[in-house]
Amino acid sequence: TKRYNIKQFFFKIIRFPFVLGVLLLLLRGGFQPIPINLSDAYFSKTIIVNDVTVNPNWNLGQSILKNKTNFDGNPYKKHSQEKVDEFIKIINQENDSSTYVLNSKNPNIVFILLESWSADNIESLGGLNGITPYFKALEKEGLLFTNFYSNGWTSDQAMSSIFSSFPVFPYVSIINQTDKARKLPCLTKSLIKNGYHSSFFFGGQLTYGNIKGYLLSQGFDIVKDENQYKHLPSGRLGVHDEYMFDQFKKELNSLPQPFMSTLFTISSHSPFDFPGVHTLSFNSKEDKYVNSVAYTDKCLGDFIASVKNDDWYANTLFVILADHSHNSPRNWRVAQKERFKIPMLWFGEVLKPNYKGSKWDKLSSHIDITPTILEQLGQDNTSYKFGRNILNKQRQVFVPYVFHRGHGLISNQGYYAFSEDYNKVFELEASDSTQMKLIKEQTEMYFQV
From residue 284, alpha-carbon distances to 203, 274, 280, 329 in Å are: 28, 19, 10, 6
Helical axes 241-253 vs 287-307, angle rounded to 10° = 30
At residue 5, the pLDDT reads: 66
pLDDT exceeds cutoff 70 at 2: no
User: Cα separation of 311 and 253, whole Å?
Assistant: 8
Contacts of 299 (CB under 8 A, 6+ apart): 241, 242, 245, 265, 267
pLDDT of 92:
80
**Whether pLDDT at 50 is above 60:** no
Query: d(Cα 280, Cα 388) in Å, to the nearest integer?
Result: 38
**Dist CA 267 CA 236 (whole Å):** 10
Q: Mean per-residue pLDDT for 421-429?
A: 95
Tell how many helices (H) and how many strands (E) occur in the chain: 14, 14
Helix (H, G, I), strand (E, B) or coil at 300: helix
pTM of the model: 0.86
Beta strands 259-264 and 344-347 are: unpaired
Checking if the pLDDT of 319 tops 60, the result is yes
pLDDT (average), residues 345-352 = 98
pLDDT band at 396 (very low <50, low <70, confident <90, very high): confident
> What does the pLDDT average to over 226-236?
97
DSSP state of 257: S
Per-residue model confidence as pLDDT tens digits over 9-49: 666 677 667 666 666 656 555 555 556 555 455 555 555 55
Strands 142-145 and 344-347: antiparallel
Instruction: Identify which has the larger pLDDT, 170 or 60.
Output: 170
Residue 379: pLDDT band with limits 50, 70, 90: very high
How would residue 77 be classed by pLDDT, with cut points 50, 70 and 90? Answer: confident
The gap from C-alpha 188 to its chain's centroid, in whole angstroms, comes to 16
Mean pLDDT of the region 269-273: 97
**6 pLDDT higher than 90:** no
Reduce the DSSP state of residue 7 to 3 states and report it: helix
Residue 91 has pLDDT above 90, yes or no: no
100 contacts 107 by C-beta, under 8 angstroms: no
Cβ-based burial of 59 (10 A; exposed 0-12, middle 13-18, buried ≥19):
middle
- The residues with which 279 forms a beta bridge, in sequence order, are none
The per-residue DSSP string of 384-410 comes to --S---TTBTTS---EEEEETTEEEEE
How confident is the prediction for the chain on average, in pLDDT? 89
Alpha carbons within 13 A on the beta-carbon side of 284: 15
pLDDT in tens, 113-165: 999 999 999 999 999 999 999 999 999 999 999 999 999 999 999 999 999 99
Q: 175 with 211: CB under 8 angstroms?
A: yes
Mean of the pLDDT values across residues 432-437?
A: 94
Side chain identity at 277, as an amino acid letter?
V
Q: Which long-range contacts (CB under 8 A, 24 or more apart) does 436-444 make?
A: 438/413, 439/409, 439/411, 439/413, 439/414, 439/415, 440/416, 441/79, 442/87, 442/398, 442/409, 442/411, 442/416, 443/400, 443/407, 443/408, 443/409, 443/416, 443/418, 444/76, 444/78, 444/79
What is the pairing mode between strands 364-365 and 148-149? parallel
Residue 55: φ, ψ to 5°:
-60, 120
Mean pLDDT for the stretch of residues 361-379: 98
Q: Is the pLDDT of residue 80 over 50?
A: yes
